[in-house]
Chains A and B, each alone.
Chain A
């Protein structure tokens, strides 16, 4: 089992500590771990300090555990926990719910709650090995990673395991509340050297934060994933951080991190498909991406996992077109892929963010419509004409959005996706 690097540094609420310090916090709050030994526990926390303390407590005691933010523990989640024999235990204060009859108990299991792309809440079973997707970084240089993700999400656990299982990898946890302001404060400390986040996070930050503020911190490593990564966002980050290594990573809570690309281009090289030398198998069937990996969840049993992601091969490059059933718009029998349209719109210099969806329409069935955030406000009609002109001749006529909604700010979900 991987070693825990408890001397790695952790910043929470702007204060510096390490994992040993966090373990003491958890011991003081939760006491002897023996009372959790036969239960599947979900530690209920208010902030990253408590959450990270719960992580080191769960791991060192080899509990069957998970973490959830108090604000996410809705009645629906409580019912889901009860059905699965999961016991919600607040790290501060006493338990309000008695321990349910444990359906099954597995030492070392880590429960990750995800609503995934389907919106249906799922309890995904992982352990420290399946969440340790950075085991190829044994010789990594010292880094301090900004941790922007929602407590208890898959991406959050991945980053936390990096901070615990890889030597010299420190974490700077975002404060709850205004994420852009928290990021600015973190950058101002000059500590942040690395960040892993989503394209939407960067679009949000690039719109809200001045370029000279972004360049204050010596960031040398940027990882992007969780959503389709387009060329425009890669180019913008390269422009701001010319010396940084910029990787985009294909990962999901079911398959773990599967494809890492660092050549500065969107998509990934076609040679990755069916490569017998790769430890993580990648193949395409019927235009869908399949992954086989040791990082897949316990339930996959080592088989190929259908990711549900649609792909297209163009000029020896594999591009993501979105998810099956949600990102293809049928316009009078022609197929328009929302991610292609979004990627093209994002290549316009005035566009900060966009989301393309379908709207039911007579005669042709559906039409693409676009919500857009511009970097500077413009008159609606002028903005529409500008963007239609940008699309004409580059996208098929049926793929050009027909109705446009111009928003004032980028909608940012708790998973930092849009």
Chain B
């Protein structure tokens, strides 16, 4: 999946909670109020779209700070076989 599709999914998740859509990719996940539960939900929505379970590198996940990091992380994870 590409970065735009993943940001759309992230925005679907946060706007459902009544929060504004994220447009600034440099924003930290904390400032964007994008929490671990949201991260997990986006992962499941990606799994449903690509039809397989995502495999994660825990070390990569720990380096996530900004919205762009989340987008890059899922772009890579959804691409990996």
Q: Taking beta carbons and an 8 Å cutoff, which residues of A are in contact with B? A: 331-332, 359, 361-364, 367, 381, 384-385, 388-389, 392, 397-398, 402-403
Contacts and interface: CB of A to CB of B under 8 A. Distances in A.
A359 B44 contact: yes
Contacts of B54: 362
Given A331-B37, A402-B37, A362 B18 contact: no
B29 to A, nearest CB: 12
3 nearest CB pairs, A to B: A361-B40, A402-B41, A364-B40
Contacts of B35: 397
B71 to A, nearest CB: 16
Given A361-B43, A363-B61, A403-B44, 12 more contacts: A331-B37, A361-B40, A362-B40, A363-B39, A363-B40, A364-B40, A367-B41, A388-B17, A392-B18, A398-B37, A402-B40, A402-B44
Nearest to A362: B43
A392 B12 CA distance: 16
Interface string B25-57: 000000000011101110111001000001010
B63 interface: no
Sort chain B's interface into a size bin.
Answer: 10 to 19
Contacts of A392: 17-18
A390 to B, nearest CB: 12
Nearest to A361: B40
Interface of B: 12, 16-18, 35-37, 39-41, 43-45, 48, 54, 56, 61
B40 A367 contact: yes
Contacts of B40: 361-364, 367, 402
A362 B57 CA distance: 11
20 contacts: A361-B40, A361-B41, A361-B43, A361-B44, A362-B56, A363-B36, A363-B39, A363-B40, A364-B40, A367-B40, A385-B16, A388-B16, A388-B17, A392-B17, A397-B35, A398-B37, A402-B37, A402-B44, A403-B41, A403-B48
Contacts of B56: 362
A331 B39 CA distance: 13
Nearest to B41: A402
A404 to B, nearest CB: 10
Given A362-B54, A363-B61, A389-B18, A403 B37 contact: no
A342 to B, nearest CB: 19
Contacts of A388: 16-17
Nearest to A397: B37
Contact of B36 (A332, A385, A403): A332
B45 A403 contact: yes
A233 to B, nearest CB: 27
B50 to A, nearest CB: 14
A331 B37 CA distance: 9
Nearest to B39: A363
A228 to B, nearest CB: 25
